[in-house]
């Protein structure tokens, strides 16, 4: 995996640069418990998580004929916003960001996280300087990133073949396909290695693993 072959790296945020899987599982289990629904293990969570997240909520046991997704999703997000800084950058993230910067490779973030809160967390960790563009959604419900990806690839200016998307979900692979970028996936994030392996692109356990294989 020669990262030096690329002119631009597009990063996913949650589960890729930001290590928030355990927090997400903890919060969803609280939401489930308040409704008398079964708890999720991390393994179960990673096996059912998907984007758009509404489908994952259904797989977790929520019944949107009883209460709407918007209510449940907001309940989850309100707690996430209160607790998000309990999580930190993924192991190896700073090493990777610095390595790419040192090689003159440009970097951007493409996230299903809400834009204003994405900006705030990036600023909290003092890493804005690494990124050409920081792109998130305009709402809290983690829907598709494909349209945002199409806009971003136009802004970047690099050819899609010289652009690499690094993410942790099948949806990241779908976005890469739509915009013509290359893709690698990380199994330490929000989806299981089994799911990611079906995409047919390189899958690494972590950013450290990816760095060691460059």
pLDDT per position as a tens digit, 103-126: 999 999 999 888 999 999 999 999
With 70 as the cut, is the pLDDT of residue 59 above it?
A: yes
Q: What is the pLDDT of residue 140?
A: 45
Q: What is the pLDDT of residue 139?
A: 52
* pLDDT 10s digits, 67-91: 999 999 999 999 999 999 999 999 9
Tokens 């900006």 -> residue: 119
Kindly state the tokens that stand for 161. 């073949």
Residue 137 confidence class, pLDDT cut points 50, 70, 90: confident
CA dist 78 → 74, 81, 83 (Å): 6, 5, 9
Q: What CATH class does 3-20+88-212 carry?
A: alpha beta
Q: What is the pLDDT of residue 143?
A: 52
In this prediction the pTM is 0.93
Please report how the helices 170-179 and 146-156 are oriented relative to each other, as an axis angle in degrees rounded to 10.
50
């Amino acid at each position: 995996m020669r990262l030096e072959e690329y002119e631009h790296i597009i990063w996913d945020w949650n589960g890729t640069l930001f290590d928030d899987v355990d927090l997400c599982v903890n919060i969803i289990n609280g939401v489930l418990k308040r409704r008398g629904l079964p708890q999720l293990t991390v393994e179960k969570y990673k096996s059912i998580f998907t984007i758009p997240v509404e489908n994952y909520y259904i797989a977790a046991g929520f019944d949107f004929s009883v209460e709407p997704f918007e209510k449940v999703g907001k309940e989850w997000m309100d707690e996430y916003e209160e607790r998000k800084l309990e999580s930190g950058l993924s192991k190896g993230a700073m090493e990777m960001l610095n390595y790419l910067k040192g090689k003159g490779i440009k970097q951007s973030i493409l996230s299903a996280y809400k834009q204003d809160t994405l900006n705030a967390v990036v600023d909290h960790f003092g890493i804005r300087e690494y990124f050409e563009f920081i792109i998130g959604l305009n709402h809290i419900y983690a829907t598709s990133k494909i349209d945002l990806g199409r806009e971003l690839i136009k802004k970047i200016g690099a050819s899609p073949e010289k652009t690499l998307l690094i993410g942790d979900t099948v949806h990241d692979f779908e976005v890469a396909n739509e915009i013509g970028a290359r893709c690698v996936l990380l199994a330490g994030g929000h989806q299981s290695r089994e799911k990611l392996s079906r995409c047919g692109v390189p899958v690494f356990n972590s950013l450290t693993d990816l760095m060691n294989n460059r």
